[in-house]
Amino acid sequence: MKRRRNKPTPDDRSDNAARIQKNINMTIHNMEAADEMIAKTSDPKTKKALMEKNERRRQALEGMRKEMRDESPYSD
């Protein structure tokens, strides 16, 4: 039986910026939805959990925006 060697796929970064932008948009949407839930709920435990989650989302957004700047030269 012949052994096949896996060839690595070429590095195609052309769609990375669009993918990152989609993730940024969805994260912002999720933050806004969580803010609405925070305003509507009276449960302090739920509010705290949502606020903590949004803080992690803010940090993730910073990373995604940095990554977007890094990928911009490779997009069309």
pLDDT tens figures, 32-61: 999 999 999 999 999 999 999 999 999 999
Cα–Cα distances in angstroms (integers) from residue 33 to residues 5, 27, 51, in the given order? 48, 10, 12
C-alpha triplet 69, 17, 29: angle, nearest 5° = 95
Closest CA to 54 of 40, 36, 66: 36
What's this model's pTM, rounded to 2 decimal places?
0.76
| Average pLDDT over every residue of 61-71 | 92
Least confident span in 3-7, 29-33, 54-58, 72-76? 72-76
Distance of CA 40 to the CA centre of its chain: 25
Rounded-to-10 torsion of CA 23, 28, 30, 31: 140
Amino acid at the residue 27: T
